Homo-oligomer: A and B are copies of this chain.
Amino acid sequence: MYSFTCDYTEGAHPEILKRLAETNFQQEPGYGEDSFCASAKTRIREAIGCPDADIFFLVGGTQTNSTVIDGLLKGYQGVLAVQTGHIAVHEAGAIEFCGHKVLTLPQHQGKMDAADLKAWLEAFYADETHPHMVQPGMVYISFPTEYGTIYSRAELEEIGAICKQYGLPLFIDGARLGYGLASPAADVSLKDIARLCDVFYIGGTKVGALCGEAVVFPRGNAPAHFFTHIKMHGALLAKGRLLGIQFDTLFTNGLYLRISDNAIRMAMRVKALFAEKGIPFFIDSPTNQQFPILTSSQMAALEGKVAFEIWERLPDGRAVTRFATSWATREEAIEELSRALN
């Protein structure tokens, strides 16, 4: 039985395991001072077209979000995000744990609307009581979003312009960045992402690595003492080589985008399979997460053949489901799904 429940059901890309084995007894300093991290940073700087970028390798997504956000905000500031943003829902209050409020905006298929952002900021500053309120300190968006949708270049530019106007850094959560960039619907590249925001991260955990997220401050704009800040957050990996080797491998010969492509090709086949059956979708996702709405009997038919996630149960007995593909999804899994649907 193949599982489509999420995009981290397998280990790592075999090339990564191979490099781990090859380099295993090479002695290296800890805490990201190793030669692999150095090489990975060089390759990432080239891939994003930012020779001055500050880059830090962290272990996981929630950790990265809270470390970056807490590193950028002053104590009295909060972070603006849509109500469905990962930091607003599924991080167990990691942002509040650091003392900051998540200020929420409505979501539109998981995305933030530039007009909403503008309206919120205008209303905030027009409200005479705003000194008694949490001050907005940055904007957080995900690319792709938690619903699999992506922002267009124009949308990112519009949001970025408002951020600039109000002096708010723009942070892009790229836990699934590769799957967004590899989407046929994407009109932005990795270089565009780097250009259009103030800080983002390149998700490794969901895109071929055992763990690891590469935080990028594209214009050398990391906060002072960010290393110490990471350590304070318990987010500094002693054997930084584990992260260095993985990102060095992922950014050698375009591996990161190549394996992201696989996820997208497989996702489009999943999408087509459901569409052919006339099964509706909760959202029209162009990336590796697909959300078909299934009836009880459709779900029953899949049982024991392919696994998937129940996203939300609808009052009419149907359920929004999630089928996620990844760098590791194989032809056979799609074929199994196809057979199960017939």
Q: Please indicate the chain B residues that have their CB under 8 angstroms from the CB of A66 in the complex.
A: 234
Residues of A1-36 whose CB lies within 8 A of B:
2-3, 5-6, 8-12, 14, 17, 20-21, 23-31
> What is the chain B residue whose CB lies nearest that of A312?
B127
- Contact status A67-B24, CB under 8 Å: no
Given A132-B231, A133-B89, CB of A12 within 8 Å of CB of B24: yes
Expressed in whole angstroms, the Cα–Cα distance for A206 and B70 within the complex equals 29
- Contact status B23-A20, CB under 8 Å: no
> What is the chain B residue whose CB lies nearest that of A235?
B234
Q: Is A129 an interface residue (CB 8 A)?
A: yes
- Contact status A17-B25, CB under 8 Å: no
CB distance from A121 to the nearest CB of B (A): 16
Q: Please indicate the chain B residues that have their CB under 8 angstroms from the CB of A308 in the complex.
A: none
Q: Is A227 an interface residue (CB 8 A)?
A: yes
- Contact status A20-B11, CB under 8 Å: yes
Q: Is A96 an interface residue (CB 8 A)?
A: yes
Q: Which of A97-105, A267-275, A288-296 contacts B (4 or more CB under 8 A)?
A: A97-105
Q: Please indicate the chain B residues that have their CB under 8 angstroms from the CB of A78 in the complex.
A: 93, 96
Expressed in whole angstroms, the Cα–Cα distance for A145 and B234 within the complex equals 20
Q: Is A166 an interface residue (CB 8 A)?
A: no
Q: Which of A148-156, A238-246, A254-262 contacts B (4 or more CB under 8 A)?
A: A238-246
> Number of copies of this chain in the oligomer?
4
- Contact status B6-A25, CB under 8 Å: no
Interface size class of A (residues with CB under 8 A): 35 or more
- Contact status B93-A237, CB under 8 Å: no
Q: Please indicate the chain B residues that have their CB under 8 angstroms from the CB of A310 in the complex.
A: 128
Q: Which of A45-53, A54-62, A278-286 contacts B (4 or more CB under 8 A)?
A: A54-62
Q: Which of B5, B23, B238 contacts A8 (CB 8 A)?
A: B238
The interface of chain A, by Cβ under 8 A from chain B, is 2-3, 5-6, 8-12, 14, 17, 20-21, 23-31, 59-67, 70-71, 74-76, 78, 89-94, 96-102, 128-129, 131-135, 205-206, 210-211, 224-225, 227-229, 231-239, 241-242, 310, 328
